[in-house]
Structure 1
């Protein structure tokens, strides 16, 4: 009778046959290699993180001059005669307006007034935003009304790029690519977060433009169908210190049909 060397009895030491040992060894090595190769392929196929920052776990207090047109901002002097306009956002997928209403009810218009805000900073590529999480942290400071930044008309331009949600794009989500993140951007902008056009030059982002209607008013609802879709947009460009503004008629948005490089 032929001896069966592969008959395994768990409680008898050394009963595992040579053939079974070889099979298990081969299976273990192959499985290990597949896992390693799969991990490397998955890793290298991911879009790299941006060097953007969202200070979710720390609060920063900033003081400056409030101005609300076209969207709420705080003009902060970062050094002598050098100003940065910080875009104000609410918590979650909300504009800053609900967090400003209490103070506006108490003192009236905040335009040109010195106020302090404590919140979570978001910054990337020269732009700074702050997320307000508590209306009690929006405080009117002493002092007379101050100068709000004026707008300089540049020219009429036709620009190419994608409409983005600046909150997630500038730091909350990174890299934030895919249909799920595009859907998130739609919800953020529909919630009142200002829409921004990120213009592209050879697939590299070159500049950012806050979008308004032709009268300089918020335009959130009208641009929802175009978020994350490479487009050509004609409008009037203005500059408000370190921010550009693009005043448009949504009818002038032409979707190119190209694949999004952002979402």
Structure 2
């Protein structure tokens, strides 16, 4: 007696009964493999560091206002905390409001919602800083600038502190560029020999903001030469706009080749 022909699938006909179990098993196996691969890839990704945003509600800081390179408060050391700085920003992708230069050097109170990441504090203001006429604060000490060559990444302070996740890297390139355009303070983030991250407030060589020249370099590794000024919990990395433009030009030539 001749053996029956094996089942054969034709697209416009019903699936033969003998193939249904086989295909069901294959589909189940593929789903298991797909889920397993997704979990493996997910588990292998490095988590993006982030900060805490406004977890304590509105807070107030009192310190010496500094207008350049970006609006910030310099905080003197107290019994409970070391000297430091609070960078200022507005809601959204906007820096501190205009018209604050007259407060430069004065003691002010700033209220808002802090974004905290390590020793970095960015305060999202809910009102303009208010001068404290009765308060006096001597200029904070600062060391002489030192020449430096740093490798790292340009980021905007607000997103890097925790307003966006991730707040650095290629995925944050467009967002970071818009934030710098809006006046959010620019940071240069480097990785120390022990693997820890360090940030520097960026400035142009004239002491002002780095401006448009830094926007095109956000989210990518760069090597920059400049000077570092340290004082009372704040380090400022100053670079020339010409150097930023030259780095951008070199990257464009390499991409074209």
The two structures share one fold, judged by TM-score above 0.5: yes
Match of 1:70 in 2: 69
Match of 2:203 in 1: 212
Q: Quick one: which of 101, 106, 112 aligns to 1:113?
A: 106
Within 5 Å, which residues of 2 pair with 1:188-227? 188-201=179-192, 204=195, 206-227=197-218
Q: Quick one: which of 154, 159, 162 aligns to 1:163?
A: 154
Q: CA deviation at 1:19?
A: 5.0
Residues 180, 49 of structure 1: CA spacing in aligned structure 2 closer, same or farther, 3 A cutoff? Answer: closer
Question: Where in structure 1 do 4 or more consecutive aligned residues deviate above 4 Å?
Answer: 17-21, 253-257
The structure richer in strand per residue is 1
Give the total of aligned pairs.
233
Residues 230, 246 of structure 1: CA spacing in aligned structure 2 closer, same or farther, 3 A cutoff? Answer: same
Q: CA deviation at 1:96?
A: 0.6
Within 5 Å, which residues of 2 pair with 1:9-158? 19=18, 22-23=21-22, 26-27=25-26, 29-55=28-54, 58-77=57-76, 79-80=78-79, 82-98=82-98, 101=99, 104=100, 109-132=102-125, 134-135=126-127, 138-158=129-149
Residue 207 of structure 2 aligns to a residue whose secondary structure is coil
Residues 173, 203 of structure 1: CA spacing in aligned structure 2 closer, same or farther, 3 A cutoff? Answer: farther
TM-score of the aligned structures, taking structure 1 as reference length: 0.74
Q: CA deviation at 1:176?
A: 4.0
Unaligned runs of 5+ in 2: 1-15, 252-257
Hey, what's the Cα distance between the residues in 1 that align with 2:87 and 2:167?
20
Residue 57 of structure 2 aligns to a residue whose secondary structure is coil
Hey, what's the Cα distance between the residues in 2 that align with 1:214 and 1:33?
58
- Quote the RMSD (CA, aligned, Å): 3.1
Residue 123 of structure 1 aligns to a residue whose secondary structure is strand
Q: CA deviation at 1:177?
A: 5.4
TM-score of the aligned structures, taking structure 2 as reference length: 0.76
Q: CA deviation at 1:23?
A: 4.5
Hey, what's the Cα distance between the residues in 1 that align with 2:138 and 2:90?
24
Residue 185 of structure 1 aligns to a residue whose secondary structure is helix
